[in-house]
Amino acid sequence: MTHQLLLAGTLLLMLAAAPPLMAASGLVREVTLSSGGLAEVTLAGTVDGDATIALDVRADQIDDILKSLVVRDPGGRVGAMRLDGEDQVEEVLRGVPFTADDLSSSAQLAGKLQGVEVRVESGGRVLEGRVLGLSEREAGAEIGTVRVLSLLTGSGALESVRVDDGLTVTIRDPAMVARIAEVVDVAGRAKTSGARRVEIALSGTGAREVRLTYVVAAPVWKTSYRIVDHGDGRANLQAWAIIENALGEDWKGVDVTLSSGAPVTLQQRLHRRYWHRRPEAPLPVENLGLPDLDAGTLAARAAAPALPAPMERMDRS
């Protein structure tokens, strides 16, 4: 029995949970998926005059976007692109005397603020002065080791206060307070969000549509085939394309193109900071061309007693 096969194309869309990748002023318009595990994404949005487009992208997609991003502005010019560095937390911590781990303990943080004016309340005592440091002391067998915060008061006295659970430290230096708040803000955003913000400056006049295209990694799309036999000599061949939206934004009204091409792709860490290693040229401070020192011959000769002069020989003839 010969069956007539009717080809029915069906698209099965699977949404994968992922942080959103979106433009603040645009939406995804076109997506091309390849069998090589790549997705070419096109976003479009309307801007008016000079504008800045902001993209919130996943951290693992930054390198691909830096390598492939194309901006099309028909009525303007594309300016600079701004992106926070990969080691932003380390950059902020480089200018402060504490580490990110010190933020979890008020006593530990206060101990690192040497020379900063503070007001300390602990165990019913109140001290004001400049921080000298945090140390540990033995307080007996029953209590064990305790931590002590030392201060230099305004009168020049060296005072210490035991660090208890109810320790309260008030920092009197507004500049230090602002720096601590900046560290807390940057470290908090780095831990709670895996996204990076990319800002692109545009200059132009009038309202116009701007398009952004980039290539990022994507799940490989798959195919699934099945034959449905109707029992009357006819059967349907159904072809399913299984794709996964790992970009995080809804693809409603998006033109999706499936490509069977599998290009060879490489990764490059463009977002990482690299330093060129330079050889060190030492200064010639070891040998300045000094004459050889006296090994002791001349000094010993000068210290030796002088021998008597030889007597003159008398001629008795």
53 and 98 assigned to the same domain: no
pLDDT tens-digit map of 132-188:
988 888 877 777 788 888 999 989 999 888 887 778 899 999 999 998 888 888 777
Q: Are residues 17 and 62 in the same domain?
A: yes
Q: Which domain holds residue 248?
A: 4-75+205-259
pLDDT at 278 over 70: yes
- Which of 146, 166, 191 is the last residue in one of the domains? 191
Which pLDDT band, with edges at 50, 70 and 90, does 268 fall under?
confident
Instruction: With respect to residue 311, please indicate whether it lies within any of the assigned structural domains.
Output: no
Span 184-221, pLDDT tens digits? 887 776 665 567 788 899 999 899 999 999 999 999 99
On whether residue 164 sits in a domain, the answer given is: yes
Please check the confidence at residue 257 and state whether its pLDDT lies above 80: yes
Q: What domain count does the chain have?
A: 2
pLDDT category at 1 given cuts 50, 70, 90 is very low
- Considering the domain architecture, whether residues 116 and 174 belong to the same structural domain is answered as yes
The pLDDT, as a whole number, for residue 297 is: 65
Would the pTM of this model clear 0.75, i.e. be above it?
no
User: Could you tell me the two tokens for 288?
Assistant: 């300045």
The answer on 114 and 186 residing in a single domain is: yes
User: What rounded mean pLDDT belongs to the chain?
Assistant: 80
Tell whether 216 and 247 lie within a shared domain. Answer: yes
